[in-house]
Amino acid sequence: MLPPRNAGRSLAVSLTLLMSLCQTVASQAAEATPPATVPKAGQPYGSTYAPLASAPVLITGATLLTGTGERLENTPVLVAEGRIQAIGAEAQSADVRIIDATGMWLTPGIIDVHSHLGDYPAPSIDSTSDGNEMTSPNTAAVWAEHSVWPQDPQFPLALAGGVTTMQILPGSANLFGGRGVTLKNVPARTVQAMKFPGAPQSLKMACGENPKRVYGSRNQAPSTRMGNIAGFREAWIKASAYRDKRAAAIEAGNADGSNKDKPAPPDRDLALDTLAGVLDGDILVHNHCYRADEMAWMIDIAREFGYKITAFHHAVEAYKIADVLADEGICSALWADWWGSKLEMFDTVTQNVALVEQAGACSIVHSDSARGIQRLNQEAAKAMAAGRRVGMSIDEADAIGWITSNAAQALGIHGETGSIEVGKAGDLVLWDRNPFSVYARAQQVYIDGYLYYDRSDPQRQPLTDFDLGQTARGRAL
């Protein structure tokens, strides 16, 4: 996890930080033998992503939605060496490519905190369906990144919608679905080369109907909501003991268990590694949960075992306990208007996003959909309009945060991306008009300053291996 960084911190510091991260990653990758001790979460399988070199660019004339609540008219932005160097009057450089973006709008790169791209790729067939390890209610051992197919043709479609970063989560069949991963939306041969350097991993948890339906239909626990809760608590009890035993061994200088006279570390257990990582605060909890009453139970469980819930996902009833969520500092990742396929998602109101924000809690618009991820700007527009329709005062400068800075916050990467601030990564989307218009399209998408997508240049529109030679795809590409 990156340390929080002030917006004004100098580029030099930022780059140094980034470089040190890269080095950490490189040294991990170079390690020939697996660590002998029980590792803390997130250490193996590091990112091999490296920003592509890009020439400095000065984007002038655009209307900026910064992601920090500001709207700046006709304000230049200078991007060099992958980072935002200057905004406004100071954004000048003699030797730089200038993009005249007069009449256009510039936003931070769009971030989706809930996606299954790559682990539920297209075409959706048994061969590629790798998102839900539906074999046990507790599969905390599995990692979504190990299922991601980097050649999923849905990645470039999301890029065309301005998505620069996304969290890929396991499905919600299980109480503990496994670890999620934050990826940069860059074409790559390996998942490691997409991994967001330094981003914390997450744990996907799920309450409600899905686990009890999947396992109840097999005459197996959980088959009820009380069974769900018991399943959570039993797992956390084991995880607490595992963590304590590990801590005692480490404290006694016996992390590798070689000294028989000192407290021994526990036998290595992948699922408990994950849960202990949560208890240690290294892994962020992203909890699929629809109903207000169930979210309240999940908050109590977190309190009982001493961990923190970062975000409730889907949370169609967040508005019923918006005050509680504000007090607890828990984000809500929400849809603008989806509802109704299950009883637990029947109480949607279109003002959910706006009401949560109004209560002072962190509101996020997420997709959980390969269609929706292509137009999160429109989802945010609908959520904004729903608030305005009942007289709430919300504008674009606020609403852009639901798909940028707030999302970055929930993924623990807000020091790096999610807003247009000096020192932040050059993750930017240039829209042909106000992105809250249904007619808006992303014209250019930058990741770490590199132009990964240009609507007017087919050479700047990536194709996956899957796309190649599929004559059926035709001009669709």
With both helix axes pointing from N to C terminus, report the angle between 225-251 and 209-216 in degrees, rounded to the nearest 10: 100
**Is residue 384 part of the contact set for other proteins (CB under 8 A)?**
yes
Would you say 75 or 374 has its CB closer to other proteins?
374
Task: Select from 104, 285, 355, 376 the one that contacts other proteins (CB under 8 A).
Answer: 355
Identify the residue among 14, 310, 351, 417 touching other proteins (CB under 8 A): 351
Q: Which of residues 233, 268, 303, 389 is near other proteins by CB under 8 A?
A: 389
Binding other proteins (rule: CB under 8 A), the pick from 154, 167, 367, 406 is 154
| Nearest CB to other proteins, comparing residues 297 and 338 | 338
One residue of 26, 92, 233, 346 binding other proteins per CB under 8 A: 346
Q: Which position among 84, 157, 186, 309 is part of the footprint of other proteins (CB under 8 A)?
A: 157
Chain centroid offset of residue 328 CA: 20
Rounded Cα distance between 381 and 375, Å, is 10
Longest distance between any two alpha carbons in the chain, whole Å: 72
Angle CA 135–372–448, to nearest 5: 95
Least Å from the CB of residue 158 to other proteins: 11
* Residues between 134 and 153 that touch other proteins (CB under 8 A): 153
From residue 409 to residue 438, the character string flagging contacts with other proteins as x (rule: CB under 8 A) and all else as - is ---------------------------xxx
Give the interface segment with other proteins, choosing from 79-87, 227-235, 316-324, 420-428 (CB under 8 A): 316-324
Cβ-based neighbours of 57, under 8 Å, separated by 6 or more: 78, 79, 80, 96, 97, 98, 99, 449, 451
Q: Is 332 in the site for other proteins (CB under 8 A)?
A: no
Residues 216, 223: Cα–Cα separation, whole Å? 4
Looking at residue 143, what DSSP letter applies?
Answer: B
Q: Is 203 in the site for other proteins (CB under 8 A)?
A: no
Q: Is 212 a residue that touches other proteins (CB under 8 A)?
A: no
Please list every residue from 445 through 474 that binds other proteins, using CB under 8 A.
466, 470, 472-474
Assess contact for 436 and 387: CB atoms under 8 A: no
State how far the Cα of 129 lies from the Cα of 152, in Å rounded to an integer: 12
Residues 313 and 345: beta-carbon distance below 8 Å:
no
Of 313, 382, 414, 424, the one binding other proteins by CB under 8 A: 382
Query: Any idea what DSSP says for residue 401?
Result: G
Choices 133-141, 220-228, 256-264, 439-447 (CB under 8 A): range interacting with other proteins: 439-447
For 284, the token pair is: 């962020």
Q: Which residue reads 């852009």 in tokens?
A: 400
Listed residue (361, 382, 354, 408) closest to 66, CA to CA: 408
Residue pair 106/77 in contact (Cβ under 8 Å)? The answer is yes
Sequence-ordered alpha helix ranges (H) in 191-321? 209-216, 225-251, 270-279, 292-305
Q: Of the candidates 319, 431, 450, 452, which one interacts with other proteins according to CB under 8 A?
A: 319
- For 229, the token pair is 């809760």
Q: Is 155 in the site for other proteins (CB under 8 A)?
A: no
**Residue range at the interface with other proteins (CB under 8 A); choices 14-22, 51-59, 195-203, 348-356:** 348-356
Using CB under 8 A, pick the residue from 228, 350, 404, 405 that binds other proteins. 350
The residue with tokens 């490691």 is 192
218 near other proteins (CB under 8 A): no
Contact footprint for other proteins (CB under 8 A): 122-125, 153-154, 157, 209, 213, 217, 319-320, 322-323, 337-343, 346-351, 355, 359, 370-371, 374-375, 378, 381-382, 384-385, 388-390, 436-441, 466, 470, 472-476
